Amino acid sequence: MKYLTRSLWVLVAAALISCGGKDEKKEKENIQLGNYEKKEVAKPEASEPEGDLVDMSNKGVGPVENVDLPDEIDMAMAKEGEEIYNSKCTACHKPTKKFIGPAPIGVLERRSPEWVMNMILNPEEMIIKDPVAKQLLAEFNGAPMANQNLKREEARKILEYFRTLKETN
Tell me which residues touch ligand HEC (CB under 6 A).
51, 85, 88-89, 91-93, 100-102, 104, 107, 111, 116, 119-120, 127, 133, 136-137, 140, 143-146, 148, 150, 158
Query: Nearest distance from residue 127's CB to ligand HEC, in Å?
Result: 5
Instruction: Please say which residue, 16 or 125, places its beta carbon nearer to ligand HEC.
Output: 125
Closest distance to ligand HEC from the beta carbon of 168 (Å): 19
Instruction: Kindly tell me the burial class for residue 91, based on how many C-beta atoms sit within 10 Å of its own C-beta (0-12, 13-18, 19 or more).
Output: exposed
Handedness of CA 17, 19, 20, 24 (dihedral sign): positive
| Min CB(164)–ligand HEC separation in Å | 14
Work out how close the CB of 47 gets to ligand HEC at its nearest, in angstroms, rounded to a whole number: 13
Of residues 62 and 101, the one with the C-beta less far from ligand HEC: 101
In degrees and rounded to multiples of 5, residue 121 shows phi and psi of -90, -25
Q: Which is nearer to ligand HEC, 42 or 46 (CB)?
A: 46
Cα(76)–Cα(1) distance, integer angstroms? 94
Nearer to ligand HEC, 88 or 94 (CB): 88
Q: Which is nearer to ligand HEC, 74 or 134 (CB)?
A: 134
End-to-end CA distance of the chain: 79
What type of residue is 139?
Answer: E
- CA separation for the pair 149, 132 (Å, rounded): 21
Residue 157: HSE in the Cβ half-sphere, 13 Å Cα cutoff: 17
